[in-house]
Structure 1
Amino acid sequence: MNEVMQFVKKNDTTTELYIYGEIRKQEVWEVLFDVESEHVSALSFKDALDQVETPNLCVRINSMGGSVSEGLTIYNLLNSFSGNVTTIVDGFACSIASVIFMAGSKRIVPESALLMIHNAWSKAEGDAHAMRKAADDLEKITQPSINIYTSKTILNEIEIRNMMDKETWLEAKEAYEFGFATVLEKAEANQCLNDRYLAHLIKENKALKTKILSTNKQDDDFF
């Protein structure tokens, strides 16, 4: 499995899949020569999903987005999963990656994560008729994402369209308030760093360590 699409069975009930990187179609030469690519394709995701034997699936996302067709396929694959799906934004869930995020019945966004939504875009060339058709096609390609956002959030289609037209970045709190996320995961105010620093100070002061241990016997695992 490639480095940006990891498969981890946590225990007998939960499996984690990591979508870290660009979402795009797997090239023919990559398949023929078994090249480890630095992206996530619908095919590689399906191969990983087919190996999941646990009732719970957790999909962790850190991606700037990529191909709409590949992303929609991954979203639909997750919707067809027979068990429970939780999605988590570990960093960014941008563009089509934010659509994949919406596949979770439980959608977790930490305070330090971001979402971004915008319209589909592409390159085109040709005469005026070809350019108009390309614009019309892009509207249709964007519509499934709009449908997904409106079905999961508290926003209507007009509101979603306005946000996508402006390319909107959503902080974690905004994503939660609008309904993109169902859980806002709060930071622990550097508790880990504070505990490590305190442990260092205590180890440097044997007298203080002895005093604390004598007053609170339940803290033995801390040192």
Structure 2
Amino acid sequence: MEKRKFWVFQRGDPKEETILRLDGPIAKESWFGDEVTPALFLSELESHPGDMTVWINSPGGDVFAASQIYTMLMDHKGKITVKIEGIAASAASVIAMAGGEVLMSPSSMMMIHNPETSAYGWKDEMEKALDILDEVKESIINAYELKTGLSRHKISRLMDDETWMNAKKAKELGFCDRLLFTGDDEEEEADEEAQEGMAFAARKMMSTVLNKISADAVLAKKEEEAGSDEKADNLEETGTKYKELTKRLELLRH
């Protein structure tokens, strides 16, 4: 019986980039311990060289299947762009980390949590299962850390809490680079221009203040040298003598 695939490769024009769609549970029927399914996925991937956009809508599934797909995509020679259209939860979020750029629909979600399994047997066997889960968690953290730049402790806490992220939250934490359909690029460029404008305004204001202080200092020095009692009284009333102004000027410049 033909195996039911959760992936579809699409490419109309050979000159266009390939579309890979991952829909539904990852390896719903079989993957781990099965040489056929991973080999089939890899053969199809290798037959589509070049840039690729991976659309993900999956609640997760087999962590080992996700790990292998993640590795295959990371090793792919073309650029990998991931777009999350509905949900990338659990194991599917690991696959999403293979994107050189990860984009999420404004209405999509991402979820990360600790790995889980079922086990039975004696105490030693249970303890071994716990050790395996700890190591699986560390391997997942490796992928998240590489993409987000977050500390391992931070990622571990997020997984402990079973963290659900909307697109903006995922972007804030580094799991997502941009939002689809929102013109993020234009907004970021506008923000950068605004910051540059504010920096320029601040520099201009500082320059004006320094020039004003310098002019006041020169005037005060001339008045002191001229021995003008009236001007000296006025300067004393305001507490702005030449030496004080000069001192302030040097502090501002540094």
Give yes or no for TM over 0.5: yes
Superposition pairs for residues 1-150 of structure 1, below 5 Å?
2=4, 4-11=6-13, 12-24=15-27, 25-26=30-31, 42-53=38-49, 55-150=50-145
* Contact 2:6–2:26, Cα closer than 8 Å, also in 1: no
- Residue 13 of structure 1 deviates from its aligned partner by 3.1
- Residue 10 of structure 1 deviates from its aligned partner by 4.4
Q: TM-score, normalised by structure 1?
A: 0.73
For structure 1, the residue ranges without an aligned partner over 5 or more in a row are: 32-40, 189-223
* Contact 1:86–1:104, Cα closer than 8 Å, also in 2: yes
Counterpart AA for 1:8? Q
Q: TM-score, normalised by structure 2?
A: 0.65
Match status 1:173 vs 2:164: no
Counterpart AA for 1:60? W
Secondary structure of 2:82 counterpart: strand
Q: C-alpha deviations, 1:195-221, integer Å up to 9, x for none?
A: xxxxxxxxxxxxxxxxxxxxxxxxxxx
* Contact 1:117–1:163, Cα closer than 8 Å, also in 2: yes
CA–CA distance in 2 between the matches of 1:23 and 1:135? 23
- Residue 131 of structure 1 deviates from its aligned partner by 1.0
CA–CA distance in 1 between the matches of 2:156 and 2:137? 10
Counterpart AA for 2:16? T
Instruction: Kindly report the root-mean-square deviation, in angstroms, between the aligned alpha carbons of the 2 structures.
Output: 2.3
- Residue 176 of structure 1 deviates from its aligned partner by 0.7
CA–CA distance in 2 between the matches of 1:139 and 1:123? 14
CA–CA distance in 1 between the matches of 2:125 and 2:32? 27
* Contact 1:10–1:16, Cα closer than 8 Å, also in 2: no
CA–CA distance in 2 between the matches of 1:133 and 1:4? 31
CA–CA distance in 1 between the matches of 2:102 and 2:24? 19
Secondary structure of 1:7 counterpart: strand
Q: Where is the helix percentage greater, Structure 1 or Structure 2?
A: 2
Counterpart AA for 1:49? L
Q: Where is the strand percentage greater, Structure 1 or Structure 2?
A: 1
Aligned residues: 178
* Contact 1:42–1:71, Cα closer than 8 Å, also in 2: no
- Residue 182 of structure 1 deviates from its aligned partner by 1.0
Identical pairs, percent = 34
CA–CA distance in 2 between the matches of 1:3 and 1:82? 23
User: Greater relative contact order (Cα 8 A, min sep 6): structure 1 or 2?
Assistant: 1
Secondary structure of 1:107 counterpart: strand
- Residue 27 of structure 1 deviates from its aligned partner by 8.7
For structure 2, the residue ranges without an aligned partner over 5 or more in a row are: 184-254
Closer, same or farther in 2 for the Cα pair 1:138/1:27, shift >3 Å? closer
Superposition pairs for residues 148-167 of structure 1, below 5 Å?
148-167=143-162
- Residue 62 of structure 1 deviates from its aligned partner by 0.6
Secondary structure of 1:116 counterpart: strand
Counterpart AA for 1:176? K
Closer, same or farther in 2 for the Cα pair 1:158/1:184, shift >3 Å? same
